[in-house]
């Protein structure tokens, strides 16, 4: 089976207070296993125009973006949710029992109980008291992106050395990447609180961002 290997090298003969030389290679493994990670989202590119200086969503564990609800019917043990559109269908999106659900008024830990139609599914029992009947919005997150061994790669592929991108997870800024800089770090995907954003507040040329998720789908 295919695996993924990460290599890192850092060398400098004049860095203070002394020279440094580090080189290491390691296989990336699935959570709690000796089996290597064998899936990626593929390398993607996002280009921010000079007019785009606000916070921009780059990576999300959502199966799809926020969807508009047609309605919610409360029952004694669960809630039936109908989306406003069946294009694409829930099956095409990969929604299945056990996936996490998030939205306004939905309690933490709510999941998909079952998929009943192209645009309809039932939520788990602890959703009954929290969901308000009527229109609203909702997002479903795949269970495969839970607390596992995902890895994130982000590179600022811009050429202007004065411009930078700021990387944040939810509301927490984790650092800046200047032209040519890259970051590689572990990622625990726990719904909306783990979404990764970028911002290029002062860039004078379009910001070019390359990124990839090495996925633990075990």
pLDDT of residue 169: 93
The DSSP secondary structure of 55-83, one letter per residue, reads -EEEE--BSSS-EEEEEEEE-SS-EEEEE
Cβ neighbours, 10 Å, residue 128? 16
What are the pLDDT digits (tens) for 36-66? 888 887 899 999 999 999 999 888 776 655 5
| Confidence grade of residue 33 (pLDDT, cut at 50, 70, 90) | confident
Residues 6 or more apart whose CB falls under 8 angstroms from that of 179 comprise: 156, 157, 158, 159, 160, 161, 163, 164
Taking the domains of the chain in order of start, what are their residue ranges?
31-60+145-215, 67-141
- Round to whole Å and give the CA distance between 166 and 95: 32
CATH architecture of 67-141: Beta Barrel (2.40)
Range of weakest confidence among 99-108, 132-141, 153-162, 196-205: 132-141
pLDDT above 90 as % of the chain: 32
Rounded to a whole number of angstroms, the CA Rg of the chain reads 21
pLDDT of residue 184: 96
CB 183 within 8 A of CB 156: no
What are the pLDDT digits (tens) for 76-115? 556 787 877 777 788 877 788 888 777 766 777 788 888 9
What pTM was estimated for this model as a whole? Answer: 0.70
CB 178 within 8 A of CB 156: yes
| Confidence grade of residue 216 (pLDDT, cut at 50, 70, 90) | confident
pLDDT of residue 175: 96
Q: Indicate if 67-141 has the same CATH topology as 31-60+145-215.
A: no
The answer to whether the Cα torsion of 47, 56, 97, 40 is positive or negative is positive
Fold of 31-60+145-215: Jelly Rolls (2.60.120)
């Amino acid at each position: 089976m295919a695996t993924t290997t990460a290599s890192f090298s850092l060398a400098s003969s004049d860095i203070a207070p002394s020279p440094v030389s580090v080189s290491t290679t390691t296989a990336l493994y699935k959570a709690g296993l000796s089996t290597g990670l064998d899936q990626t989202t593929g390398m993607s590119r996002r280009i921010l125009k000079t007019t785009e200086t606000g916070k921009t969503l780059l990576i999300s564990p959502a199966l799809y973006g926020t969807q508009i609800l047609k309605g919610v019917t409360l029952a004694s043990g669960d809630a039936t949710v109908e989306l406003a559109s069946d294009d694409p269908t829930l099956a095409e999106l990969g929604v299945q029992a056990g996936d996490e659900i998030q939205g306004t008024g939905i309690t933490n830990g709510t999941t998909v109980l079952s998929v009943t139609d192209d645009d309809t599914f039932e939520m788990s029992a602890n959703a009954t008291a929290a969901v308000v009947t009527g229109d609203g919005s909702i997002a479903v997150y795949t269970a495969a992106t839970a607390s596992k061994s995902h890895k994130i790669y982000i590179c600022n592929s811009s050429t202007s050395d004065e411009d930078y991108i700021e990387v944040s997870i939810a509301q927490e800024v984790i650092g800046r990447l200047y032209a040519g800089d890259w970051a590689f770090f572990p990622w625990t995907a726990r719904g909306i609180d783990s979404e990764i954003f970028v911002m290029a507040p002062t860039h004078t040329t379009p910001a070019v961002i390359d990124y990839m998720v090495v996925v633990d789908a075990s």
